[in-house]
Amino acid sequence: MTMTSIIIPTYNRVGLLRSCVESIKAHTESAYEIIVVDNASTDGTDAYCRENKLTFISLPANQGFPVACNLGLQLASGDELLLLNNDVIVPRGWLERLKHALYSAPDIGIVGPVTNYASGRQQVSTTYMDIAEFHAEAERVSLQGSHGWSETRRLIGLCFLLKRELMETIGLLDERYSPGHYEDDDYCYRARLRGYRLLIAGNCLVHHEGSASFKEVYSSGLQELVERGRRMFMDKWNIDPAQFI
């Protein structure tokens, strides 16, 4: 059985982190490890990680999402590597469904779930009004099996499962995008350039609160940050990433 390293970059909002970790512990049957990378939180995140015996890296200053992810990736020992936002809640069987998609073909490099809050094709219409209803809806969505899978050119970093061989082939996230936005688009593009395919596992629904950490820090300049990332992608690749949505 393979083991998955779940890397959770976080900044404050320890309540969201707690809900995320508790959902992983309650609903994951496959072997996994959790690595929390704390971007200098001031709300007791470090104490929570110690109390719950979580592996964590505590940074002295907020270095942003790509840097935090890369530190976690370098510490990870798993066969698969999963980048997970701290404001995501996962349902029963989530990781097993993502892994099934990931190993469905040798050239699949990255897979991601569908969710209530994302940009692009991974956002789906949902009807649930609370977390209990979310779990019931996720159970119904799971019944699609592999019929729910679809190939894509882009996956969002909120829940981003990749094979270790992919990281060993194309490297880590590009930290020039720090504090964040478009590092996931960049990674997907690099994977595709090396012949890997990407899948949306439509039979795996996760709940996403939505950019919680970024709103904590950049609430007034969030759109500006997104535009900055887009310009950097275009400068690097001479391609408008909008064509991949």
Domains observed in the chain:
3-237 (3.90.550.10)
Q: Is 110 helix (H, G, I), strand (E, B) or coil?
A: strand
State how beta strands 108-115 and 55-58 pair: unpaired
Please give the average per-residue pLDDT across 35-45, as a whole number. 97
Is residue 216's pLDDT more than 60? no
Mean pLDDT for the chain overall:
95
Please say whether the beta carbons of 231 and 27 come within 8 A: no
Q: How far is CA 62 from the centre of its chain?
A: 19
What is the structure's pLDDT at 81? 98
* Amino acid identity, position 148: G
Which pLDDT band holds residue 243 (cuts at 50, 70, 90)? confident
206: its two tokens: 């996760």
Q: Which residues contact 123 (CB under 8 A, 6 or more apart)?
A: 114, 115, 116, 117
What is the structure's pLDDT at 245? 73
Please say whether the beta carbons of 160 and 186 come within 8 A: no
Q: Which residues contact 90 (CB under 8 A, 6 or more apart)?
A: 20, 23, 24, 27, 28, 159, 206, 207
Q: Mind listing the pLDDT tens digit for each residue in 167-201?
A: 999 999 999 999 999 999 999 999 999 999 999 99
Helix ranges restricted to H, the chain: 14-27, 45-51, 65-75, 94-102, 131-142, 164-170, 183-193, 212-218, 222-237
Please say whether the beta carbons of 153 and 244 come within 8 A: yes
Closest CA to 7 of 164, 117, 228, 151: 164
Which pLDDT band holds residue 39 (cuts at 50, 70, 90)? very high
Which pLDDT band holds residue 215 (cuts at 50, 70, 90)? low
Q: Mind listing the pLDDT tens digit for each residue in 103-131?
A: 999 999 999 999 999 989 999 999 999 99
What is the structure's pLDDT at 213? 52
What is the percentage of the chain residues whose pLDDT exceeds 90?
Answer: 92
Buried/exposed code over 119-157 (b: 16+ C-beta within 10 A; e: otherwise):
ebbbeeebeeeeeeebbebbeebbeeeeebbeebbbbbb
Is residue 220's pLDDT more than 90? no
Q: Mind listing the pLDDT tens digit for each residue in 122-157?
A: 999 999 999 999 999 999 999 999 999 999 999 999
- Separation CA 223–CA 21 (nearest Å): 29
Cis amide prior to 106 (ω within 30 degrees): no
Q: Mind listing the pLDDT tens digit for each residue in 56-114?
A: 999 999 999 999 999 999 999 999 999 999 999 999 999 999 999 999 999 999 999 99
What is the structure's pLDDT at 210? 83
Query: Exposed, middle or buried by CB within 10 Å (0-12, 13-18, 19+), for 21?
Result: buried
